[in-house]
Every structure is written in C-alpha cells, then in structure tokens.
Structure 1
C-alpha cells in the first residue's frame, strides 16, 4: 500500500492549450525545437505555431529535425552538439514519444561530456554519474502513446550494439507539458491505434506489476477505462475531438503511473524486437506479443483478481474470470483493426527469438523484476513463438 509520488511537470491539458504557450514562464531564452524526420509537424502547421508562440514569449529558436521513430544514439549526440553550437539553454520537444524521449537524452548530452552510453546504467552502458544537470525540456505532445510528457524516461537505441534502453533521472522530467488533443487529429488511423495500445499497456502492466500500489491502481484503472472506451472512435474518426481527448488523458495518466509503479517485461520483450528491427513501431510490437504474454501470467494464476478488474475496466462488467481480460483485449484490437499484425511483415524470423530474449534480459532486465512470477529465457522464447505469424 506504500507509494512515493513525484511528478514535478506542470501540465496544461485540453484542446487549444498550445495557444497558451507564450503565457508560460519558460526556462530560457533560446530553444532547440526538436521534431521528427518526417513531414507531418511542418505540414500540419504545428511547428510554425509553436515557433510563433515562442517568439511571442521573446524566445529565439533553432530547429533540429532528425528524430527517427525509434531514436538512435548517434542522432542524440548530433542533437546535443547542435544545441551547444547554437547556445540553446532549453529544449522544446514537439512530437510524439520518440521526439520527447530523444529530447531528454539530448538534454543530458548538451551539458555533459562523452558519449550518451557512458551514462546508461544497463546493458553495455557504463552507468557513470552525470556531472551536470540536463537542459530543461518543454514537451508538446502531438500523439497519445508514450506518456513521455509526464515521466522522466527516454528510450534510445544504440545502433552499434542493438540495445534499446530506457534511462532517466528526476532532473529529466519535462518542466512543462502541453497536451493539446487538437494536435492529434491528423495522426493516421493505424498509428493512432499503435500509440493508443502503447498507452494502454503502460497502465495494464503497471497495474499488474509487483510495484503496484494504491496510487498507481487509481491512475492505471482510470487510464484503462478512458483509452478502451475512446480508442476505437479515435482510430475510425480522427477528428473526434472528444475521443482524442479521452485517449490523451489516459495516455498522460499512463506516463505518471509508470513512475509511481512500473511496467513489466512485456516492454523489455518488445524493445528487443524493435532494437533489431528499426522499422517496427513500438506499439505494434506490443500488440503482437500481448495475447501470449498476458495469457502466460493468467495461466500462472499470480493475480487473477487484477486481471478480472482490468476486464471490468475494459467494459466487461460482471465478469469473474481472468481470461475475460484476453477477450476484452482481443475485442479492442479487432475494433481498432490491428488484430492481424504479423512479425514476419517486419522481417522478424523465429531463429531470432532466443537472441531477442537474451537481449531483453541484458538491456532491460530490471522490468523482469516487476513480474509477479519469474520469466525464464525459455518462457520468453515461447511467448515470441506463440505470437509469430
């Protein structure tokens, strides 16, 4: 029942809140505006609107537009060098989870020497202490998937070692987050679904985690209720602002709940998949393994009551069987049109499963400690095998 709660991020939530950016007490006078290497942020006008807001607040800007869907260490280092060269004193992350994650990593390396992997405390990272605080980050999320606007974590891929690892400190919470559902209406349906399921699994895992507590339970169940109820409409009708708002709310709660509780090894298993297959969207990978993953723990009967409560939060009122969570999950995947995802479409092959299982343990083994029963390497391989098509 004990918990610690720390979320120092000021959050502005609601449609149209980007328009209030210029009214905020911003943490510097020159911003590195970080966006993805795609075209959507520019084409939608969100970049120009953000720059105008910053200019109205007396802030100068430079743009760094190289962030990948699964951000790479080399890109982080390039962004940090760009920030130093241009004398930036804070960062504005404008985009989805990859942009916000990369911005946190860039903020570390803009003020600290060496290589980003010198400070990563897992895998082949050296785990060195950071000598200087990172640059402040303002997070303006244009998707509802990672909750990165409300947590300190950034997940970065080391392309040299095929390691995808999350890292953060109390200093890497964004100082300000703007969650404006109007910025999410242009996200295409399949990415809306991938991102929504990522948010859902953050809360599902945190509710099932051995670190769950009174506070995280409240946040997680509320997030699950909102995402489940609204995601199908957000996928089918992208301009449904009410649905977008409810999914965004669930997503932001999911970001907070990960810091109050903690996700489980499902995330480790997926990070290993996309570490080797850069084009695999994180949410899609989670969807692919979700049925086999959660079925494994239902078979262990380690927390039947929690699976029942999740099924109820997903709309299956009156249920008393933990297996009904799987039914609710499959129904939601079907409603969002993502029940046919295939590993093979992203080049994943069965002969990689054992390598990926070891990678999951070696790079993000800490999340396995949150599982309510121990997963062996063979168990991980079996989950991959059951998920393959």
Structure 2
C-alpha cells in the first residue's frame, strides 16, 4: 500500500519508543522493571489506578511484591474515574509529592494511564497544575519515568506520547502529546483482561479501530501507520466476537491486546482527526459516556465524510470488514453504512439520539470543538477541511442510523 499512497521523496517520521512486554504472564516483568528503577536510584513510586481492577486482576499484588523485594516504597492513588479530570491529576501529583516519588506506575485502562502520565509531568515540573498542563500554559520537557500496566485492549496510551483529561472547570477535554510522556516500560498481559465486562470488551476494541482509521488517513500519516491499521482491523474483526462469546479465551484477548498496542503506535505516528475531536466534547459534557461508545457512534459518519479524500487507503484497511471495495470516492455512502452494520452486528447499536443528544445540541458541541484546546490541531490534519459545517454534518449524520 505504501507505493500507492506515498511519494518516495517525502521524508516521514516513524516513532517506536516504549519497551513493551505482551503475552500471558507479562505482569511478572514488573520485577525486572522495578529492579531497573532501583538501580537508577528510585526509592519511592506513585501508583495511579481506578477503584477496583488494579486489585481484582491481581496486578497490584505483583507490583507490591516486586516493590517490597527491591526496597521501593509505594503510594497508591486509586480514585481515577473514566474520562479523568484535571482534579484527579492534581490529587495524584499531590500524593506523589508526599513521598518524593521518583517514578509513576499506571495500572488500568486509558483513564488511569493518562492520569498517571499527567501526574508524572507535574511531579517533574513543580508549581504547575493539571489545568496549566491541559490549557497549554507551559510546554513540559520532562516527566518522571512512567511504567504502564495496561488492563484493557483499546487505549494504546501505554506505548505512545498522548494523554487526555477533562479540564474540570471548563468542560474541555483536550489531548496533549509530548515526548516526555512515552512510558519507559509497558505491560500488556491478556490474562489481566479476562474480567472486562461485555460492554468494556466491545468499547475498548472499537477504540482501537477508531485509532487506526484516523491514523491511516491524516495528512501526516505514513506507510507504517497504514500497515498497522489493516492488521489492527483484521485482528479486532477476528477476535472480538470470540472474546464476547468466551471472555476467558486468552488467545482472543492476546489478539485484541496486540491490535490495541499496534493501534497506539499507529496514531503515535499518524495522529488522529475527526472522530476523537468530536467525541471529546461528548464525554466532557457526559463523563459517564464510554469513550469507545462515543467513537463508535461517530465512526460511520466520519468515514462517509473522509472516504472521498482517501478512498484507496480506506478500501485497503477496511477490507477485513467491508471486502471487495474498488477504492473510489463514489463508495463513501456504501462503506459508511457497511461499517455501521458491522458495529451493529457487534452489539453497538446506539446513535447520538440514544445518548440523549438532540439536533438542537449540535451547535453547542460545535462550539466545544472550536473552543477546546488541542482539538483544532486534530482537525488541521484531517483529510478534508475541518470546518464548522463539516463538524456539524458529522454530528447530524450520527444522530440516528444511516441504513
């Protein structure tokens, strides 16, 4: 696909930074990781997690045992909620300061990982707050070493330089991206993910699909991101139904974990555009909305909008779920409806109207897309111009089923 989509005389950046361990039993690598931290002089670590899964999966027992073995003190902040806020970032960082933390361990899905990453920046930049960070009042160049123990197969945050949090006071949900946010180490152990609920299993996997659809079609994408995209979609298509049927199937969880890890690397290289830019205001206003569900609701309309600009790439990467495409602009409506039917077949049938969004709300969400820091950057790399009219059309086409 690279020779059809990219000029050989254009220099493109390819990023691969984090040391990631993936496979059943990968959690045991925490012993080697903490031995390395101790060797580097780290004697205390802030641990950031949600309220339950860090403990119920057994991950915390492994972390505690390794820390005790290597003489490292731990402080646990376990109050991160889905769609983390800058208040949580500030609280986690404050706890880290009480023990003079030298590193941060994030245990959970995207929310604890993003919160922990953000706290790692604040701990290395005294006097700064979560709101300062997410309102771009400073540009961080350093963070404490970050270790990400991923408990879902969707985020990708364990292997890239991105983090997201809602600015509590403003209902803004910006994304940040700094080189200091790359985790030093990441652990993706499928055995820690078998307890995900049916809904979580769906939504996090669909998050990975959205990552690659966007990453492969931005104006700054590269061949690496495109190749990762098709493989990611194929893995999710193959293994998500298996995991829904049998949550304990470790081969399925491994396939989905690998898909999500690839997707995290893909959007680290290609960035993101419409789906994430438009979903962030939805979950900022409604924090109980699962990020993956919000993305699923928007994805068909985004594909419809972008397909005419990237027909060859989208036909290539979507082939596992929409076979036989010619890769011509005229297929846009057909492909969008086919992707919507694929999502419906996985049990994700909601549209914006089912989430309580009305046509009269579209202007408000368009305002938030324009006002939220960082979202204009996502729109700037979209394959079609990210005008207010385009954004409004995507929201309107997502209110109810297309088919």
Q: TM-score, normalised by structure 2?
A: 0.89
1:341 positional shift: 1.4
- Looking at structure 2, the residues matched to 331 and 353 of structure 1 have their Cα atoms a distance apart, in angstroms, of 24
Which residue number corresponds to residue 50 of structure 2?
36
Question: RMSD of the alignment, in Å?
Answer: 1.8
d(CA) in 1 for partners of 2:173 and 2:289?
13
Deviation at 1:60, TM superposition (A): 2.0
Seen in structure 2, the aligned counterparts of structure 1 residues 335 and 51 have a Cα distance that, compared at 3 Å, is farther
2:3 is matched with none
Which of 182, 200, 211 is matched with 1:173 structurally? 182
Where do residues 291-306 of structure 1 align in structure 2 (5 Å cutoff)? 291-298=300-307, 301-306=308-313
> Per-residue displacement from partner, 1:258-312 (whole Å, max 9, x unpaired)?
12111112110000111111111111001111112211223xx212112211231
1:154 paired with 2:159, answer no
**How do 1:270-349 residues align onto structure 2 when only pairs under 5 Å count?**
270-298=279-307, 301-312=308-319, 314-320=320-326, 322-323=331-332, 325-338=335-348, 340-349=349-358
Q: How does 1:12-161 map to 2 (within 5 A)?
A: 12-24=21-33, 25-26=36-37, 28-37=42-51, 39-112=52-125, 113-120=127-134, 125-130=135-140, 133-161=142-170
1:41-99 Cα offsets, whole Å, 9 max, x none, are: 32333322322233233322121001010000011001101100122111110000011
On the 8 A contact 1:189/1:236 being kept in 2, the answer is: no
Query: Unaligned stretches of 5+ in structure 1?
Result: none
The answer to whether the 8 Å contact 1:34/1:103 transfers is yes
Q: Find the aligned partners of 2:96 and 2:132 in 1 and give their Cα distance.
A: 19
Cα-to-partner distance string for 1:13-48 (whole Å, 9 max, x where unaligned): 1111101210232362211111113x2332333322
CA contact (8 A) 2:321 2:339 kept: no
Counting matched residue pairs gives: 379
The answer to whether the aligner puts 1:376 opposite 2:387 as a matched pair is: yes
Separation (CA, whole Å) in 1 of partners of 2:369 and 2:398: 16
SS at match of 1:62: strand
Alpha-carbon distance between aligned partners in 2 of 1:126 and 1:20, rounded to the nearest angstrom: 35
Q: Deviations over 1:117-145 (max 9, x none)?
A: 3233xxxx243233x62111100000011
Number of the residue aligned with 1:240: 249
What's the CA shift for 1:187? Answer: 0.3
Contact 1:232 1:335 in 2 (8 A): no
Task: Measure the CA separation in 2 of the matches of 1:95 and 1:19.
Answer: 16
Q: How far is the alpha carbon of 1:331 from its aligned partner?
A: 4.0
CA drift at 1:114: 2.6
**CA distance in structure 2 between the aligned counterparts of 1:377 and 1:258, rounded to whole angstroms:** 24
The structure-2 alpha-carbon separation of the partners of 1:352 and 1:229, relative to structure 1 and needing over 3 Å to count, comes to same
| Compared CA separation, residues 170 and 249, structure 1 to 2 (3 A) | same
Following superposition, which runs of at least 4 residues in structure 1 exceed 6 angstroms of deviation?
A: none
Contact 1:71 1:102 in 2 (8 A): yes
Q: Secondary structure at the match of 1:119?
A: helix
User: What is the SS of the residue equivalent to 1:158?
Assistant: coil
Match of 1:361 in 2: 370
